[in-house]
Amino acid sequence: MSGLSRWVREHLVLMLGLLVLVYTFVPIFVVVGMSFNDPGGRNVYQFGSFTLDNWRDPCGPDDLCSSLLTSIQIGLLATLVATVLGTLAAFALVRHDFAGRSASNLLIFLPMAAPEIVLGSSLLALFVASGFAGQLGFWTILIAHVMFCLSFVVVTVRARLAGMDDDLEQAAMDLYATPGQTFWRVTFPLVLPGILGAALLSFSLSFDDFIITNLNSGNTTTFPMYVYGQERVGVPMQVNVVGTLMFVVSILLVLGSEVRNRRRAPA
Amino acid sequence: MSQLAEDVAARAASDPTYDGLRLSGLTKSFGGGFTAVDALDLDVPKGSFFALLGPSGCGKTTTLRMVAGLETPTSGSIVLGGNDITYAKPYRRPVNTVFQSYALFPHLDIFENVAFGLRRRKSAQVKEKVEQMLELVELTEQSRKKPAQLSGGQQQRVALARALINEPEVLLLDEPLGALDLKLRRAMQIEIKRIQTEVQQTFIHVTHDQEEAMTMADTVAVMNAGVIEQMGAPAELYENPRSTFVANFLGQSNLISGTVVSRAADVVTVEMHGIQVSVPTGRTHVDGDQGWVGIRPEKVLLGEPGEQLDAPGNTIPGGVITDVSFVGVSTQYLVRMPWGQELQIFEQNTGRRRMFASGEKVELSWRPEYAFLLDQSQDATAGAQRDGQ
Amino acid sequence: MSETVRRKGKVGYLLLAPAALWLVLFFVIPFYSLVATSLFDQGGSDFRGYQMTYAFGNYVDVVQEYAGPFGRSLLYGAIATAFCLVLGYVLAYAIAFKAGRWKNLMLVLVIAPFFTSFLVRTLSWKLILADDGFIVNTLQTLQVLGDDGRLLATPIAVVAGLTYNFLPFMVLPLYASIDKIDHRLIEASSDLYANPFVGFFKVTWPLSLPGVVSGTLLTFIPAVGDYINAQFLGSTNERVIGNVIQAQFTDANNYPVASALSVLLMVLILAMVLVYVRRAGTEDLL
């Protein structure tokens, strides 16, 4: 066997894996590319010529930035509520024993197993049945978002808590820490990464949701709804600017935390 | 030596202001009727290095956790230096633990791990004390590292320092060396012993490793099925075990079935398979006449049939060597006796005696003062180490 | 390590109560409300109100009328899940066993594209698969597609979009499972005369089954319910059940029919999941 063919054989799986990875990035390249697109004519799904106009004036199109703001507001509020409630519930499920614990676990699991369209239509059915059909908007979206984020928060924090070595809290007690000190000096700092991860997940779930939101939004428009609405008439190129920015900001956040971890533990 | 242990116990019982740790009737039952610790009475003298030795599941760790306050006793009491701490919260008792998993706080650096207890109690001069302690365990240079960056042996020393710095009246060590490899374990055994001598605090060391217990502790309590089988100095336990469990769990023993035929003031004569041997009265621990004659493999001498051995005593003829294992410092023989039992004999390789070969006929002999007699109602294989342990 | 000590008492309830209450109010009761609505008289409307007539006939109606979109949803979802499994397995395997010190970076890269809005990403497939785009032109040159053949507005585009959008839901559980496999087991199998293929199917694949099961569920469920891909990348011929439910709710305002469709979808998915999980023998996942 020649050296080349052996090298290919040994790295075949890795090459294929990288190919799949490249595939997942193709749309991102398109989004970034299109953010510099001046379509000129009517077809906005084709590259016309290069321009920086979209970046100079991201809020140009009507309603784009206001929908973005709405999404961010709902995202932050939903994240806050879901993270607090979910974290409390995770502590209850891991650290406390009570009748109905397994039923509660099921209650947490089911929303994650239900398709979004079912979650969304259920809520709408309730709002209509209870006479809230006219009041759909910001607050009903928020209620819906907290609902579907909750389970993910519970699951994430629960995993972190369950993976924690019980000996650590016992060691703290053994070293003269009262229950309160044990919680704030040992338990909480150790669970915090899980809570932050859950919050990040919540925000991105909320920010990205369309199907549930669309059914319960009334006249309120979130960013995904804005994009959906513009799809038929031709999406403004500034949407790609927003898409690019979201990608860049998230990557920076992830890399930042990675670098911080590395610096803390240069193994 | 057994006299000493008994003296300590007697003195402790008569003295209400006993300054050591006293467990009285300590019992812990779990749900399902399982009793991990059963009416345990134990006195640990102040300043001693005490080992609680037993196989896993014998209740030693539960005992330790009750002393630490991490487990609530079902009944009984724990008194430390005259204070009843049976139900005191773990953070309110002057006891600290070195956990088996070390339980170092991963989010705090070494310095803060060691300082944790001092800070909770708002001690003065935290910095000086921690630096001093880190020096004692030779970790000064690692003080700003996180636990995950340290080797197993270093983590072990941090766990030790973190507990010791609080100057507890009792330091509990729960299988502290279990996660270390053999070489490191040896080094740490010596290290912990050195530190104990230096700080002069009471150490209670829980382990399933008999060698570790004997090397480190000045008093060893052998625990089995929730109760203490025997307690005393290591040599005393090894030389004069009172139960088959202790005889097998500490080192190895040959146990040969026998019947007491006569009792004199200082010696008991036992007949085993037609051969009479004598055992000193102080080394007999039988209720009736049926017993196990016990002899340690290294106390048995091997000779050719009729050979005059330099330490004659009890002589048993008719053995045939069935296996020879040369292990360097010694040679281990298996000898099949006329009654079918295979006995173990370790012979030191002094170079003065020749090695026997498999199939050779031999005679065994041992000095009567090395033998011991145990009650036949006990299981002859109790406490024997299984393969791979 | 000691066992987790679970405290008894009321504190547990207090901690759980807010979240449980939220889920009961906004998940359990709504679902009940959905079931109830699905049995309302179809003759009602927003303005006149609805009558509870236990109209089980609604279900017969929707099955007859919308069998097509239902079938398409399940079919597209299943095909996309299968594609995800193949692609995801290759990627997860490469990360777990071949990536070495690039493991973490590759994992980040798997998720990274999904930080961008779902809808924006799906729209960009519209451009990639466009009629005069690079891919269609290439396929036309290779005679795979006819001269006026297209990808956009075909089932292929919808499945491609679904596959792309739900790939990470497959990769992450697969990776978690494969990464746990002791590499020595695979060496042992090759020591015992298994060639790489036999070794894979006798050792790696069975050991990664938990990941396969949870990955396929996590991919299949949202893929069946999704209608964005069908909406953006398909034509009216590729309408899936999500389109229909959405339209019945927001455009036709026929709540009983929309609710019946929704309940039916949930029941179908639950039934399929239960059968699948039972056959895969990994019930403890639920």
Q: What is the mean pLDDT of residues C199-212?
A: 86
pLDDT in tens, B56-101: 888 899 999 999 999 999 999 999 988 899 999 999 999 999 998 8
Q: What is the mean pLDDT of residues C187-204?
A: 80
Q: What is the mean pLDDT of residues A147-170?
A: 91
* Same domain, yes or no: A110 and A35: no
pLDDT band at C138 (very low <50, low <70, confident <90, very high): confident
Check if the beta carbon of residue A45 is closer than 8 Å to that of residue C127.
Answer: yes
Q: Quick one: pLDDT at residue C1? A: 37
Neighbouring-strand partners of residue B332: B325, B346
How many domains in chain A?
A: 2
Asked if the structure places residue A234 within a domain, the reply is no
Q: Which helix (H) or strand (E) holds B83?
A: strand B83-84
Chain C residues 223-282 with a CB less than 8 Å from chain A: 224-228, 231-232, 241-242, 245-246, 249-250, 255, 258-259, 262-263, 265-266, 269-270, 273
**CB atoms A190 and B107 under 8 Å:** yes
Half-sphere exposure of B193 (CA within 13 A, CB side): 14
Chain B residues 51-80 with a CB less than 8 Å from chain C: 65, 70
pLDDT of residue B295 exceeding 70 = yes
Q: Kindly state whether C5 is in contact with chain B, defined as any CB-CB distance less than 8 angstroms.
A: no
Say how many C-beta atoms besides its own lie within 10 A of residue A52's C-beta: 10
pLDDT in tens, A11-46: 888 889 999 999 889 889 989 988 888 877 666 667
Half-sphere exposure of A95 (CA within 13 A, CB side): 23
Strand order in the sheet with B361-366: B301-303, B361-366, B314-326, B330-336, B342-348
Which chain B residues have a beta carbon less than 8 Å from that of A173? 69-70, 89-91
pLDDT of residue A267 exceeding 60 = no
Q: Quick one: pLDDT at residue C4? A: 53
Give C129→chain A minimum CA distance, Å. 10
**CB atoms B146 and A265 under 8 Å:** yes
CA distance B268 to C61: 100
pLDDT of residue A241 exceeding 50 = yes
CA distance A201 to C217: 19
Say which of B65, B70, B101 has its CB closest to residue C1. B101
Q: Tell me the whole-structure pTM to 2 decimals.
A: 0.82
Q: Which residues contact B331 (CB under 8 A, 6 or more apart)?
A: B324, B325, B346, B347, B349, B355
pLDDT in tens, B170-220: 999 998 888 788 888 888 898 889 889 888 889 999 999 988 999 899 999
Q: Quick one: pLDDT at residue A266? A: 44
Mean residue pLDDT across chain C: 85
pLDDT of residue B287 exceeding 60 = yes
Using the Cα atoms of residue B90, residue B94, residue B99 and residue B103 in order, give the sign of their dihedral.
positive
Which chain C residues have a beta carbon less than 8 Å from that of B65? 2
Domains B2-94+168-239 and B252-375 share a fold: no
| Mutation to test the B interface, candidates C2, C6, C7, most B Cβ within 10 Å | C2
Q: Residue A7 sits in which domain range?
A: 3-55
Q: What is the mean pLDDT of residues A117-124?
A: 93
* Same domain, yes or no: A97 and A140: yes
Say how many C-beta atoms besides its own lie within 10 A of residue B296's C-beta: 22
**CB atoms C37 and A125 under 8 Å:** yes
**CB atoms A177 and B166 under 8 Å:** no
CA distance C219 to C82: 9
What CATH number corresponds to the domain at position A204?
A: 1.10.3720.10
Which chain B residues have a beta carbon less than 8 Å from that of A165? 101, 103
Which chain C residues have a beta carbon less than 8 Å from that of B70? 2
**CB atoms A115 and C269 under 8 Å:** yes
Say how many C-beta atoms besides its own lie within 10 A of residue A5's C-beta: 9
* Same domain, yes or no: A144 and A17: no
pLDDT band at B288 (very low <50, low <70, confident <90, very high): confident
The ipTM assigned to this model is 0.88
pLDDT of residue B311 exceeding 70 = no
| Mutation to test the A interface, candidates B70, B104, B108, most A Cβ within 10 Å | B70
CA distance B295 to B374: 11
Class of domain B2-94+168-239: alpha beta
Q: What is the mean pLDDT of residues C166-184?
A: 89
Say which of C9, C120, C246 has its CB closest to residue A243. C120
Say which of C28, C90, C126 has its CB closest to residue A20. C90
CATH 2.40.50.140 fits domain B252-375: yes
Structure tokens at B122: 């708002």
**CB atoms A265 and B97 under 8 Å:** no
Out of A181, A205, A220, pick the residue that ends a domain.
A220
Which chain B residues have a beta carbon less than 8 Å from that of A174? 68-70, 90-91, 95-97, 163
* Same domain, yes or no: A108 and A210: yes
Which chain B residues have a beta carbon less than 8 Å from that of C1? 100-101
Task: Label residue C26 exposed, middle or buried (CB < 10 Å: 0-12, 13-18, 19+).
Answer: buried
* Same domain, yes or no: A107 and A177: yes
Asked if the structure places residue A117 within a domain, the reply is yes
Give B69→chain A minimum CA distance, Å. 8
- Rg of chain C over Cα atoms, rounded to whole angstroms, equals 23
Which chain A residues have a beta carbon less than 8 Å from that of C222? 115-116
Q: Quick one: pLDDT at residue C136? A: 81
* Same domain, yes or no: A17 and A131: no
Q: What is the mean pLDDT of residues A193-212?
A: 91
* Same domain, yes or no: A27 and A158: no
Least confident residue range of A96-105, B310-319, C113-122? B310-319
**Pure H helices in chain B:** 2-14, 60-68, 110-120, 126-136, 152-164, 182-199, 210-216, 234-239, 244-249
Q: Which residue of C has its CA nearest to A204?
A: C115
Q: Quick one: pLDDT at residue C281? A: 64
Domain C68-285 in CATH: superfamily? MetI-like (1.10.3720.10)
Give A41→chain C minimum CA distance, Å. 15
Chain C residues 45-104 with a CB less than 8 Å from chain A: 46, 87-88, 90-91, 93-95, 97-99, 104
The subunits that touch chain B, with at least 3 C-beta pairs less than 8 Å apart, are A, C
Q: Which residue of C has its CA nearest to A44?
A: C127
Say which of B70, B92, B120 has its CB closest to residue A175. B120
Interface residues from chain A to B (CB-CB < 8 Å): 165, 167-168, 170-178, 181, 185-186, 189-190, 264-267
Q: Quick one: pLDDT at residue B12? A: 46
Q: Which residue of C has its CA nearest to B65?
A: C2
Which chain B residues have a beta carbon less than 8 Å from that of C2? 65, 70
Give A118→chain C minimum CA distance, Å. 5
pLDDT of residue B14 exceeding 50 = no
Asked if the structure places residue A231 within a domain, the reply is no
Q: Quick one: pLDDT at residue C135? A: 81
Report the percentage of chain B scoring pLDDT > 90: 60
Q: What is the mean pLDDT of residues C277-281?
A: 75
Q: Which residues contact B48 (CB under 8 A, 6 or more apart)?
A: B20, B202, B203, B218, B219
| Mutation to test the C interface, candidates A96, A110, A121, most C Cβ within 10 Å | A121
Mean residue pLDDT across chain B: 88
pLDDT in tens, B96-125: 999 988 999 999 999 999 999 999 989 889
CA distance A120 to C246: 9
* Same domain, yes or no: A82 and A196: yes
Annotated domain spans of chain B: 2-94+168-239, 252-375
pLDDT in tens, B256-273: 999 999 998 889 999 999
Asked if the structure places residue A192 within a domain, the reply is yes
Structure tokens at C30: 């709504």
pLDDT of residue B388 exceeding 50 = no
Q: Quick one: pLDDT at residue B389? A: 36
Q: How far is CA A157 from CA A75, A105, B61, in A?
A: 19, 13, 31
Asked if the structure places residue A256 within a domain, the reply is no
Picking from B94, B67, B86, B82, the residue whose alpha carbon sits closest to that of residue B15 is B82
* Same domain, yes or no: A27 and A109: no
**Cα separation of the two ends of chain C:** 27
